[in-house]
Structure formats: structure tokens, C-alpha cells
Amino acid sequence: MAYYAGLYLYYFRLRLKQWSQYRADFIISTVSSLLLDGSTLLFLSVIFSKIRQLEGWTFPEMVLIWALSMITRFLANGVLDAPHRFYWYIRFGDMDRVLVRPAGMLFQIAGEDGINLPFIGRALVGVIALFTVLPSLRLPWWSAVYLPLTVVSGVLIMFSVQVTIASLSFWFVNANSVLTTMSWLAQFGQYPVTIFDWPLRILFTWILPYAMVSFYPAAFMLHSAEYLPYGLLAPLVGAASFLISMAVWSEAVKHYQSTGS
């Protein structure tokens, strides 16, 4: 474990050095991302300036759900963006290079090409929004433990869904279009799943468990009795999703065929 932690820090320092060579590009990317995410939060505030509640959810409660979704989604994309690189590693034969190294293949891809600093900046927007509304929510004392656990579980869910979908690249020519669609659907996790019809509720709870990333953990902290089963299941869904994705990945790499170049 210490070996992988040190190796990942080395990858992270290399990425920082790369971005430091293109400071203007980094600043522009970060600022544009902040404006994009800020506009979404502004949109929510405009809506709640006209209505007091949305399906029973107040503005601070909606911000809590939105912030958890933002933090987990962009942390996953910021430090573990390996799935979006599978196709390119397979197509150009770079998978051969990582195969002959002692570290795990998935870990190497995440370290070499899965660190995106602007996404980490976008996650900070969610952190700021979260701490802004926390005083008005009066969450139970155990949320101090449950909240960080939720973030870790949410990152695992986001990463696991992407790994599972991206692993299709070992069987099909290009699975990136499907992966992009699944990543876009993750935005539905920013809103209460109760505002959707039952087919979408099932989809975002059990098939693409984005509601387990933000909505159900937030609802559990806000309304413990009503959402007790889902709140307790959410961290377990993160662990289960990760184990399933690793099993899919292990089977997928067996079908890798070198380009020969």
C-alpha cells in the first residue's frame, strides 16, 4: 500500500509540473469551469426565489444534494479519470507498455493520464457550497463521520460505473460514446430522485446508482427515519460497485490484443 501511495504522489507531482508549464491554459480552464458550476448553483437559487420548496425539498437541502454530487463526481474525474483513457491505450498499443511494469495496469493508467487538476478545482466549488449551507441544516452529530464516508463511497461509485462501461473497449471498437452518455447521466444525481417517475428512480438507484452518491445520503442525514435503509445501504453500494467493476476489468483485460506496433 505504501508503495502505491508513494507512486501515486510521484504521478501527481509530475502532473503539477506539466500544468505549471501551461499556466494560462490551467487558469482559463479552471475559471471557465468555476463559471459553469456557479451558473448551475445560480439557476437553483433563481428557481427557489420563486418557489419555497421543490417536492418538499428546501434550497439548503437541494444545495447539500448538489454539493455532494459535485464533490464526488469531480473528485473521481480529477484523481481517477482512467476509464476515459482505456480506448486510447488499446488503440495505440500503450497497453503493452503498462503490461510489462510491476504496478497494476489500472493504477498506472490512472497515474499517467487520470489526474485532471481543473476537475479537482470544480470539486472545491462543491466543498465551498457544502460548508456554506451546513450551519443552516443542523445535521445530526453522526454526520461528521457519515459525510466523509459518503464522499469516499460516491467516488467509488462514479469510478466503478465508468470502469465497467469503459471495459467494453476490450470487446468493441469504441465504447467512449457510451461512456460519455453514462457520465452525462450522472448529472441527474444533483437532484432529488423523488422528482422523477419510477423507471428513472429504479435506474438511478440500482442500475446506475447515482442517487446513492448524493441524494440518499443527504436524505438520510436530513430525514433519518424515512430514508434509513437507503442511507445505510449507500456506503455498501460503493464497495459493491467497486468489487464488481474490478471483476469486469480483470475479465476484460484477458481479451486485450496487442496492435503489434
* pLDDT tops 90 at residue 242: yes
- The pLDDT score that the predictor gives to residue 158 is 94
Cell triple for 1: 500500500
CB neighbourhood size of 205 (10 A): 18
What is this structure's pTM?
Answer: 0.86
Per-residue pLDDT band for 26 (boundaries 50, 70, 90) equals low
Spell out the domain ranges in the chain: 2-255
Cell triple for 133: 449551507
Interior/surface letters 10-25, b for 16+ CB within 10 angstroms, e for the rest: ebeeebeeebeeeeee
- Residue found by looking up cell 441527474 in the block: 188
CA 244 to chain centre: 16
Helix, strand or coil, per DSSP, at residue 92 = coil
Name the least confident of 16-25, 147-156, 206-215: 16-25
- The pLDDT score that the predictor gives to residue 44 is 67
235/152 Cα distance (integer angstroms)? 8
End-to-end alpha carbon distance in the chain: 33
